Amino acid sequence: MIPEVTGFSKLNKQQKIDWLVSNHFKHTKKAEQVLYTYWNTDKQLQQLHDEFAENTLSNFYLPFSIAPNFTINNKRYTIPMSIEESSVVAAASNAAKFWNKRGGFTAKVIDTQKIGQVHFSFIGDTTKLVTFFNSVKPKLINSIQPIEANMKKRGGGLLDIELRNKTGDIPNYYQLHCTFETVDAMGANFINTCLEKFAEVLQLKALEWDAFTTSEKEIEIIMSILSNYVPDCIVRAEVFCNVKDLPNTSEISSKAYAEKFIRAVTIAEKEPFRAVTHNKGIMNGIDAVVIATGNDFRAIEAGAHAYAAKNGSYSSLTHAYIKNNIFTYYIEIPLAVGTIGGLTSLHPMVKLALELLNKPNAKQLMEIIAVAGLAQNFGAINSLITTGIQKGHMKMHLLNILNQCNATAEEKQQIVQYFTKNTVTHSEVIKQLELLRS
């Protein structure tokens, strides 16, 4: 049994590694070497990475790739993507090239409101609570003036506070539902600091409110926290072209291609089992850019999937239709991202990624990320309705299989050449590698 350890966070890095390898690995030297291999040789840079999290022992690398040739709102972009799935960057790049010839992508931020809530219990007369809230609301707003001073200078701050009665869901449960504009910051720390001040003032003023009975004065704050569901922080990205400008081959006409594409999207709109995989493909593109630009992909994922279920059933985030012989394909998605604060000013690769994008503001980054998701989804559906998903995916996966088999450079060259004209499967790669070696 692994022994319990106390005061682990107070140990230095070497002591942490010694405890880890001695209690978890048979080959301690090999485990140590793996950890050391991924240390940055620049001690100052390594210390910076160590301080991003708790109990850090080493670094975990993801590939930093680029997808060139994106035209968004008539501007050309090279998009940074950090992801380990081999076919994602290729699919996005191919989609960018495809739509470049058809006018490129358009994108527009619809709104940028973010939400935070103070959750509390109140046992008493709801009418009195409403009167109390209306009276105390100006005091709540004034209480955060020092907190939001810098945010206001940038054009952001608190937008509104509402009292919401949720007793129909949970007895005695109410919320302060607060909306914010955080401009170019993601704003989590700002919002949470404001919410905690609201909770403090709400509780204090309730004790002083003469109209409350003794029990009513005892408002219980349950928690104060921002929401990662941001249905009013929305961006739309789309592409469109004449139906005749879609792929037209001996196997499928442009009109048939458009109809099949729309049918594939409609299935994802109606069938949750398909929708989950469909949206996962969208998030392949989105997460890759979110990670590369130092934003919180877990928050983006949670908000996107909640939005996909906003009508009561989980559905596609993308949509397609034909009107007046024009094929239109679009995505609307909530994206709460920032280009200042957090890792954006600390992580060297994040700073590089943002510079690569010409230092976008938060709205521009929302547009770029949404386009990456739309492009990725287009690439996936295009493969599904034509050659099938595995042909392109397995070719991109080929080198991973060869690396798993410890193939030499010469073996890789010959095997890759063989599969330029043959279908890649794991078993076939193993077979050809064994034939080559024999």
Please report which confidence band the pLDDT of residue 430 belongs to, taking 50, 70 and 90 as the band edges: confident
Query: Across all residues in the chain, what is the average pLDDT?
Result: 94
- Whether 245 sits among the annotated catalytic residues: the reply is no
- Please pick, among 32, 296, 347, 367, the residue that the annotation labels catalytic: 296
22, 28 Cβ separation under 8 angstroms:
yes
Maximum CA pair distance of the chain? 91
* Average confidence (pLDDT) over 80-106: 94
- Please pick, among 50, 85, 125, 411, the residue that the annotation labels catalytic: 85
User: Which CATH architecture is the domain 114-227 placed in?
Assistant: 2-Layer Sandwich (3.30)
Which tens digit of pLDDT belongs to each residue from 189-222?
999 999 999 999 999 999 999 999 999 999 999 9
Q: Residue 261's pLDDT is what?
A: 97
Q: Residue 299's pLDDT is what?
A: 97
- Please pick, among 280, 305, 395, 412, the residue that the annotation labels catalytic: 280
Cα–Cα distance, 203 to 207 (Å, whole number)? 7
Beta-carbon count within 10 A of 191 CB: 25
Looking at per-residue pLDDT, the higher value among 296 and 416 belongs to 296
Cα–Cα distance, 333 to 317 (Å, whole number)? 7
- Whether 10 sits among the annotated catalytic residues: the reply is no
Q: Residue 391's pLDDT is what?
A: 56
- Whether 363 sits among the annotated catalytic residues: the reply is no
Q: Where are the domains of the chain?
A: 8-50, 64-111+231-386, 114-227, 393-437
Q: Which has the closest alpha carbon to 148: 111, 185, 100?
A: 185
- Is 7 exposed, middle or buried (CB count within 10 Å of its CB: 0-12, 13-18, 19+)? exposed
3-state secondary structure of 424: coil
Q: Residue 438's pLDDT is what?
A: 82
Q: Residue 393's pLDDT is what?
A: 54
User: Which CATH architecture is the domain 64-111+231-386 placed in?
Assistant: Alpha-Beta Complex (3.90)
Report how far apart, in Å, the C-alpha atoms of 42 and of each of 39, 45, 50 are.
Answer: 9, 5, 12
Helices 254-270, 272-292: inter-axial angle, 10-degree rounding = 100
Share of the chain above pLDDT 70, in %: 98
- Whether 296 sits among the annotated catalytic residues: the reply is yes
Which tens digit of pLDDT belongs to each residue from 38-53?
999 999 999 999 999 9
Which DSSP state fits 381? H
Tokens at 192, concatenated: 């949470």
160-174, 224-238, 396-410: which range is least confident on average? 396-410
Common-topology check for domains 64-111+231-386 and 114-227: no
Please report which confidence band the pLDDT of residue 129 belongs to, taking 50, 70 and 90 as the band edges: very high
Cα–Cα distance, 436 to 438 (Å, whole number)? 6
Please report which confidence band the pLDDT of residue 396 belongs to, taking 50, 70 and 90 as the band edges: low
Helices 426-437, 389-404: inter-axial angle, 10-degree rounding = 40
